[in-house]
Structure 1
């Protein structure tokens, strides 16, 4: 069933729209955990290491303290001593596990033979630019605003032609600035400085471990071998190997520290910033400068250092001020920069792979997950509605298994998986109560847990906020809703136990069947909301039902059942009670419905309306527009004043492909104008928007519509199904039958539009047989679809557009170049097109209008609509 737009949380990673978040916790709550308070936690502290708990002793990391028992940075990495015994000099150490250490270097060699030009280019920039600058890419659409307002910049905007031979001179060749503490975002800059401060250096650990960089190992093992370093970084090699150890990676350490600082201030970009940090670490391997172990060590050290600095009472006020600046200034800026991290699944896969780099588990794989003292601060702003103890539980249930080399430190820093932790609990090991105060905004108001939650505990939801469960959950203790909203986005979102809705809303938002693995009970103050977008949508209850309160049925995504009996709920056990009230939305105006309680199912009886009114206990009410707004009923004027359709023989427009004729497009445009001449196209959020004129025209042409609340939401993303429908409507292609080629579109509201364009070869799916109708469409995909229905070459002005982020071998390069030359699309800046950025509703509407106006006859018809 369709995700309820009202309940779904719009994160900055998915849209340019900002979100007001609540203040960070108070100073008192961010002080380091004491031994006394930790003893009360269900996740106890691990035994104190010889060097002390990292958050308490992190300031002992200095160049004068090179002992594994007293320097916490050396100590947290001491698992490396199982593999490597440092020598008296940089080149006299001994391999204790030759197989793993040989693989560690071979990994770099193999990558040097297969890396792409794009990877080499990224490795160059990640090496030469300051890590505080590089990490800002994780801010996605806000990176440019952050750099401008914080004074963060780099002069390294291209790779010099002589980069392979020119020795670097920090004073003359390039310049970086990590920001200005006196700028508008000075506290955010200052917080990065606090995390990357004097106690964060990797030099003591490098000196202690004395492990060579991979390019030196490569030459020692094979003196005649070609260099494995990226050619443009050859001049960056140090000539003093005795002071240039490889383990741990300093660049990686600094990258994670900068990213974790920004993630504390802007938790809406938490996972994207982590992914960017992992990418910057991986660039060190691509560059040939560091090995996987070096990079893993840099991450572990940075994680502990970030937690230590954020726990330090000296930084309590600073981190609050940084958070406030991010939410009062940064997130109020235009969000128009490129976002390379919009693909959640790819981000997750990359981050997880870089945690272990494929090393085998060489120690016990069954050790319990320890949670370091103070580590919970790393989730403080990302999950502010959880207590410190609960955040420790999240870290404990999302950590990686034991046994991986280097990562089994005594406190557990190496096993933390912060990407997974941001997705909520991995297991409910005991009864867990979540209280969310929606009035505080941000994640207090709405959050989404995407992990597959296991365990024998129960989940109790309190407070006015909204929590969405999106994983394939198996927790067996049951679910209770005392307040607010609990939304399920998977077939087993509520686990395998009973569900009791005492006083909140249970929202079912699944395509197809959703199962409650036990009894379902709803009290008088409860609401069950079913979002129905296909004939197969049903709520299956494996136990008994005890009903009261409200039932809401929302037909959405342009789906509405025909007259007859439509099953909503099935239950295996007995039923007692019934819903006190029923609210039905989205039913066509000619139908009426009421609830039927039949044996082991609850259904709607849908009948044509009669003059006698609506029978029974339900009714048909207008619906809010679905994710893709539908065109409302309109009154056609008796005498349309739109220009008549030219009555001439049908011919193919040279600007169109053979998919559609000029006459068909003219007919569609003229009919739409005639039917909507008096339509109000004034929206509450488009008056000052750059696309207001095109939006008004697109609405009058019935290509797209606004929302019932009077908004258009021009910056909201467009899905693949939505853009397909817009394309078909714009070019006068009537919906056909659902395409048999895609297994996931049969019940989609856009099945007919997808079918007609698929049959004409305008759209294609994925190798797994899916179309992914609800996935956001990228700017590149949008242009590629248009290129198949139009002859863009005939529209080209002959001026070639040049985008630095669209290489000649990019799959959509030709379409993007032609569309830009034809003035149908523009870049997000003078040099960047941002092909992977999600397209917005405004961009899609503007593209449709520009495409139609490329024909002079159609342009004349549209001229009066703007």
Structure 2
């Protein structure tokens, strides 16, 4: 089968197969004159009304990081201020908790026996002793005490496996570390990038000797002769431009957790790596986290088939900094925010290089793995829990969500409106190539975390961006949402799944030729219209609470593990296809609460998940008042079928093909 045939939209492929199935006895075709006669007597409902407006996410009227990233210069770290440095400004809500001074305070006043904070003020600063801690005024002792207590709990309760992971993520170059988030693609990625590391085990004397990674971090670039993957490596290197965390560290002067409390247990293998110069070794923000999340975000952009897994890996490395005893949760949160801002700014600045790298990444990885555009995504997700620790979507989602806030309580308004930073939409460009930039901004807006958490309510909006949730599509339909997919372009243009629980009063319209699956517990109420392509239901409440209208050229696929309920009306016109994937346990069935109208479309029944009915069985398919509804063609894989219409639904009676 040719690649072009494999990419045929589902409804076209199904319609093209009708002649073959009918010829071998695989279906039943209703008399067209009868159908036309029935259609003349059927009142066809109108499509769901257009809401008349489209949601938007305006750019906030504040200085944008993507416009000012060049001000974040490592060499200017000593003199960085909120006004002069974008890297300092992006995490400025830390000033709600801590007011930095210009000196350090003696470590003897750093903590009580219980690990609580003393009343540190600028007036207590006295010189720059090697054992000192960051000097400043604590403005919110509740949050900052919880910040350090979290590390105490994590480091006193960590397992050996967690300690080992913390060592590797500390000592290895971050670009090498995070590539194992590629799962089944890891070996191919590292081979193509020619990545190396010298940290392959934990030496017996690691408790007394510092071992630094002598590997090449992100790999070998094009200038060094890597013609097959050099553009990818070059982009990862470019993403580090203007990305130093040193200005923020110098400005905020907030100490690492083990300097705040002796109850923090630094992993013994990392004690030799502790800095002897606290004055230049601030904890806020975490440089390891910032670099790891930046690299992971870039790799996710280049291989969006592993988008959420790579982002999960980036935040995992951030948490390993806490388990190491080297950083506190707020350090990691700040590092994440900074990394997203840097990623958006540099993807924008190097957009042409990014597009070249994206193409090269797919061409080379597919060649190395023996896949095609059509099979690459399946391989990317072919791992199991034993071979790919990011294989389970639900686990990744829970861990990512937890690592966004690390259990902090909200300390201010919990219902502030979402804010989307200027340029942030580029972070989703390859994940949703069929959405416009404005639509991707709305995806970010409708999936943001709620407000009120420490540090995260920055004026631009970087702190509340939930990139894992955003990769699962819209969180709400506010107004009209029109999606147009092109199956001939392959990848996510041909098939995609939105897993979020979509709320709102808006309407979804699908156009084009691709297949979009809705898999969340949806409640949007504005209705659904399919004008082209195939809209698939991957959950019982996929279509929300409104009407579903399938126009000519469109298709609907019911593939949920439980019956799918349409609370409103269901209307299907001629030149359409309804596919039901029946599993014998309720999956694939359709329940219509309102008027059920079908005028000449095709019904295609598949039996899935091992379900094997026999000739003579009557299979219930659709529940709903279907007395006047008639399909022009009924196809049942493997059987001849006689449709049975009644006042309460549609069934098929099977006979041998």
TM-score by length of 2: 0.82
3-state SS, counterpart of residue 463 of structure 2? helix
1:578 is paired with a residue of what secondary structure? coil
Which range is displaced more, 337-346 or 135-144?
Answer: 337-346
| Cα deviation, residue 6, structure 1 | 10
Task: Give the alignment partner of residue 195 of structure 1, picking from 223, 227, 239.
Answer: 239
Structure 1 partner of 2:651: 603
Is 1:512–1:534's contact at 8 Å kept on the other side of the alignment? no
* 1:558 CA displacement: 3.2
C-alpha displacement at 1:528, in angstroms? 0.7
Contact 2:184 2:388 in 1 (8 A): yes
Choose between structure 1 and 2 for higher RCO, CA contacts under 8 A separated by at least 6 residues. Answer: 2
Write out aligned runs for 1:580-619 (5 A): 580-587=632-639, 592-606=640-654
Structure 2 Cα separation of the partners of residues 148 and 604 of structure 1: 53
Cα distance in 2, alignment partners of residues 442 and 166 from structure 1: 48
After superposition, residues 493-512 of structure 1 pair within 5 angstroms as 493-502=542-551, 503-512=553-562
Quote the residue 2:67 is aligned against: 56
1:204 to 241, 244, 247: 247
Q: Distance in 1 between matches of 2:200 and 2:617?
A: 65
Conserved? CA contact 1:129–1:176, under 8 Å = no
Among 615, 627, 630, the alignment partner of 1:578 is 630
1:310 maps to what in 2?
A: 347
Q: For the residues of structure 2 that align with 1:181 and 1:565, how far apart are their CA atoms?
A: 63
| 2:144 paired with 1:101 | yes
String of CA shifts for 1:378-425, please: whole Å, max 9, x gaps: 000010000000000100000000000000000110000000000000
Report if the CA contact (8 A) 1:555-1:586 is conserved. no
Distance 1:328 1:575, change over 3 A: same
Confirm whether residue 369 of structure 1 aligns to residue 407 of structure 2: no
Match of 1:546 in 2: 597
* Inter-CA distance 144–495: structure 2 relative to 1 (3 Å threshold): same
In 1, Cα distance between equivalents of 2:561 and 2:508? 23
Correspondence list, 1:126-137, <5 A: 126-137=169-180
Matches for 1:803-818 after TM superposition, within 5 Å = none
Partner of 1:293: 330
Corresponding residue pairs, total: 554
Partners of 1:585 and 1:497 lie apart in 2 by: 31
- For 2:274 and 2:88, the matched residues in 1 are separated by 24
Q: Within 2, Cα distance between the matches of 1:196 and 1:439?
A: 35
Kept in 1, the 8 Å contact 2:536–2:557? The answer is yes
**3-state SS of paired residue (2:556):** strand
Distance 1:599 1:60, change over 3 A: same
Give me the whole-angstrom Cα distance separating, in 2, the residues matched to 1:160 and 1:152. Answer: 21
SS of equivalent residue, structure 1 residue 154: coil
The alpha-carbon deviation at position 175 of structure 1 amounts to: 4.0
Q: Secondary structure at the match of 2:628?
A: strand
What is the CA-CA distance between 1:47 and the residue it aligns to?
A: 1.9
Shift of 1:575: 4.7
Shift of residue 179, structure 1, vs aligned partner: 1.2
- CA-CA distance at 1:174 after TM superposition: 4.5
2:55·2:478 contact (CA, 8 Å) conserved in 1? no
- Using a 3 Å threshold, how does the CA distance of structure 1 residues 85 and 554 change in structure 2: closer, same or farther? same
- C-alpha distance after superposition, 1:645-689 (max 9, x if no partner): xxxxxxxxxxxxxxxxxxxxxxxxxxxxxxxxxxxxxxxxxxxxx
Q: Does 1:218 align with 2:267?
A: no
Quote the residue 1:324 is aligned against. Answer: 359
* Cα deviation 1:201-238 (Å, max 9, x = unaligned): 0000000000000010013xxxxx5x510000000000
- Looking at secondary structure, tell me which structure has more strand per residue: 2
Shift of 1:73: 1.1
Q: 1:575 to 1:389 in 2, by over 3 A?
A: farther
Q: 1:148, 1:582 → 2: CA distance?
A: 50
Does the CA contact (< 8 Å) of 2:635 and 2:641 recur in 1?
A: no
Partner of 1:529: 579
Q: In 2, Cα distance between the equivalents of 1:575 and 1:372?
A: 53
Instruction: Please tell me whether the aligned partners of residues 420 and 441 of structure 2 are also in contact (alpha carbons under 8 angstroms).
Output: yes
Secondary structure of the 2:102 match is coil
- Is the contact made by 1:560 and 1:586 (CA closer than 8 Å) also made in structure 2? no
**Superposition pairs of residues 461-472 of structure 1, within 5 angstroms:** 461-472=510-521
Q: Partner of 2:135: helix, strand, or coil?
A: coil
Q: CA RMSD in A?
A: 1.9
Among 59, 67, 70, which residue is 1:45 paired with?
Answer: 59
Structure 2's unaligned 5+ residue stretches are 1-6, 11-53, 105-133, 370-378
CA separation in 2, counterparts of 1:6 and 1:93? 64
How does the TM-score come out when normalised to structure 1?
A: 0.62
**Deviation for aligned residue 1:348:** 1.0
Q: 1:6 to 1:560 in 2, by over 3 A?
A: farther
1:251-290 mapped onto 2 (5 Å cutoff): 251-290=288-327
8 Å Cα contact 1:105-1:291 kept in structure 2? yes
For 2:501 and 2:8, locate their aligned partners in 1 and report how far apart those are by CA, in whole Å: 24
Kept in 2: contact 1:46–1:371 (CA 8 A): yes
1:243 aligns to 2:280 (yes or no) = yes
Alignment partner of 1:380 out of 429, 452, 464: 429
Partner of 1:333: 368
What does residue 425 of structure 1 align with? 474
Task: Give the C-alpha shift of residue 564 in structure 1.
Answer: 4.9
Could you tell which deviates more after superposition, 281-290 or 186-195? 186-195
Distance 2:210 2:472 in 1: 45
- Deviation string for 1:68-99 (max 9, x for gaps)? 12311111101100000101114321110001
Deviation at 1:153, TM superposition (A): 0.8
1:155 touches 1:176 (CA, 8 Å); kept in 2? no
In the alignment, what sits opposite 2:129?
Answer: none
Tell me, in whole angstroms, the C-alpha distance in 1 between the residues paired with 2:504 and 2:580: 27
Within-5 A mapping of 1:611-760: 620=657
2:88 aligned partner: 74
Against the structure 1 CA distance between its residues 535 and 145, is the aligned structure 2 distance closer, same or farther, given a 3 Å change threshold?
closer
SS of residue paired to 2:645: strand
